A and B are shown apart, each in its own frame.
Chain A
Amino acid sequence: MTSHPYAIEAEGLTKRFGTTQALAGIDLAVREGTVLGVLGPNGAGKTTAVRILATLITADRGSARVAGFDVVRDARQVRQTIGLTGQYASVDEDLTGMQNLVLIGQLLDLPSRAARARARELLEWFDLADAGGRMAKTYSGGMRRRLDLAASLVGRPSVIFLDEPTTGLDPAKREDMWEVVRRLVTDGSTVLLTTQYLDEADALADEITVIDHGRVIAHDTPDGLKQIVGGQTLEVRPTDPSRTAEATAILAEITGGRVESPRRGTLSVSVPDDSALPTTAARLASAGITVTEFSLHLPSLDEVFFTLTGRSASDDESQSDTKEAA
């Protein structure tokens, strides 16, 4: 497994559709057996990148390798290695779930007995055994996604592309899908997952590449990414609002940072690590200031995106100063 430490590598990919520069030179790297989350708003170029890596289209410039195979020169080997589930790659609605999976098995040169056995195994695994004889167009949204994903796993791919696998699913179904993705990685697969959901990337990915307007604007671990917006945040909420000023002074003295009040009665200050925590607790206690909240947390990925791009992750929402007040 050391021959290709990276299951997916791409350098300087560009792609233009007419007047739209879908990709303006992006680099991607996914270590074997890990999950890379490619995060970005609608139209950032996520799907275009996946389509290039999955050999569906070719890049104007740049190069990419999947499992060590060039996506243009060794496209056939790449196709033997990958599974693609996407907004676009889809099952045939007029076939049953079983027929869809068997067809793909046959196209992957499985003998028909093996293709049927594999189809049954996957239907079972994705909780579709009872629906296997029904046409896919009768499936619910969640079932369709599961069948889509099952279809991409027929050939036991070692590299799996999931293009927005949970878009449009309700929260419970999303959790189910996440569980599936985690299982794939436990089984040793490498996953490249695109998403518009920051919590999804946070929940699944080992590393996250944030792209916007066809460019990579950040690449890091979820935690590392959160640190970009300034370490961690210590939040304190005195029980008695009249003692807020005293608490502010204590926090300022210990951390040497600027104390802000994101919400009424709550104080927050950036800290490099958790070393200030015990001192702060002790000083507040000795001053007799009780607190209803005392926490250290990483900024949310929403905040990260706002810091990186200057606008909210959800493009269509106004980026006025509606701070996420929970």
Chain B
Amino acid sequence: MTATLSREPTVVAPKPTAPAANRRFGLIRHSAALARRSLIKTWRTPEALIDVTLQPMIFLLLFTYIFGGAISGGSQHDYLQFLLPGLLGQSIAMAGISLGTNLNGDREKGVFDRFRSLPIARSAPLVGGVLADVVRYLILCAVFLGFGYAMGFRIETNTTATIAAVAISVAFALCFCWISVWVGMIVRTPGAVQGVMFLLVLPLSFASNTFVQTGTMPGWLQGFVKVNPITHLVDAVRGLMLGGPVASHVLWTLVWMAGLLIVFVPLATRAYRRRT
């Protein structure tokens, strides 16, 4: 190779000394870099945060002031105390939907093909997206507690228990959102992700103890409500914020979280890898 052309600094030629030094925690570093990418995008388009800010506020107002009186037999405040922890459980499950939608968009636009041609773990773009979603879940919790406080909601336990309630909600969302990630990898359009996920999340959140006591429902439905993961999450959050027994609810929530991870992380990763 005789370089006869007067060259500017070579753009390709020699590979620099292999940066093998810190290859150890590749998945973590690459996922963190990709999470930062998602956060930059969220920062640029704050309207993408509507589902974790305005929407929960509207739900709180709607259910408290329209249905609250009827459901609780008069006291809207009592209903707010009952509703808010439940609605937090429902909203945090729904908040993961946009993750699947975004990942589906990345796939369609070819951004994932670029990532797949790089020497990074196959799951890194998915894990990165999930990590970035933590920020959205924390915003959601803050909105619930802040706006709820303004509406008159009062925590009846202590700070530690409240932090535990937020922690278990965010942790649950991190596991639950893998369903959305998986759906995002298998359906064709971002719109379809929303459709499929609403079909799943709406029955799960309404056929739970979010809005009314389980005892008011017919027996066959109670059976479903009692195994519903959202019921367990809501019971745990209620217990942690309002007092009462929490141990078994937390335990069941953790069992569900583990189950969701065991099933949907491999499914999502495989769907991502197989995508043609």
Residues on A facing B (Cβ under 8 Å): 17, 33, 51, 54-57, 76-77, 79-80, 82-84, 86-95, 99, 103-104, 106-111, 114, 121-122, 125, 135, 151-153, 155-158, 160, 183-184, 186-189
Contact = CB atoms under 8 A, between A and B. Distances in A.
Nearest to B1: A188
Contacts of B116: 55-56
Nearest to B274: A57
> What 4 pairs between A and B have smallest CB-CB spacing?
A90-B110, A79-B119, A89-B113, A106-B33
Given A153-B11, A188-B13, A99 B40 contact: yes
Interface in B188-233: none
A89 B12 contact: no
B15 A156 contact: yes
Contact of A82 (B16, B106, B115, B117): B117
B26 A89 contact: no
B5 A121 contact: no
B22 interface: yes
Nearest to A115: B33
Contact of B119 (A86, A87, A108, A110): A108
14 contacts: A79-B117, A79-B119, A88-B113, A90-B110, A91-B111, A92-B111, A106-B30, A107-B34, A108-B119, A111-B19, A152-B117, A183-B5, A186-B1, A187-B10
Interface string B19-36: 110110010011001101
Main secondary structure of the interface of B (DSSP, over half): loop
B119 A76 contact: yes
A57 B275 CA distance: 8
A264 B222 CA distance: 91
Contacts of A186: 1, 3, 5, 7
Interface of B: 1, 3, 5, 7-16, 19-20, 22-23, 26, 29-30, 33-34, 36-37, 40-41, 44-45, 106, 109-111, 113-120, 124, 276
Contacts of A93: 109
Nearest to A33: B1
A56 B19 contact: no
Contacts of A79: 117-119
Given A33-B1, A89-B110, A108-B118, A95 B14 contact: no
A104 B113 contact: no
A258 B8 CA distance: 52
Given A54-B117, A125-B8, 15 more contacts: A17-B276, A82-B117, A86-B113, A89-B110, A90-B110, A92-B111, A95-B40, A104-B114, A109-B20, A153-B11, A156-B16, A157-B12, A183-B11, A186-B3, A186-B5
B233 to A, nearest CB: 32
A157 B1 CA distance: 17
A67 B276 CA distance: 23
Contacts of B5: 183, 186
Nearest to B7: A186
Nearest to B10: A187
B12 A88 contact: no
A56 to B, nearest CB: 5
Between A54, A156, A158, A189, the greatest number of chain B beta carbons within 10 A of the residue's beta carbon is seen for A156
B30 A107 contact: yes
B128 to A, nearest CB: 10
B114 to A, nearest CB: 4
Contacts of B34: 103, 107
B153 to A, nearest CB: 36
Contacts of A122: 11
B12 A153 contact: yes
A212 to B, nearest CB: 22
Contacts of A184: 11-12
B126 to A, nearest CB: 14
A111 B29 CA distance: 11
Contact of B276 (A57, A92, A95, A155): A57
A156 B14 contact: yes
Contacts of B41: 92, 94-95
A189 B1 CA distance: 11
B12 A189 contact: yes
Contact of B117 (A56, A92, A99): A56
A107 to B, nearest CB: 5
A77 B15 CA distance: 14
B114 A151 contact: yes
Given A56-B113, A88-B110, A90-B113, A109 B26 contact: yes
Contact of A90 (B23, B40, B109, B119): B109
A125 B276 CA distance: 33
Contacts of B119: 76-77, 79-80, 108
A84 B10 contact: no
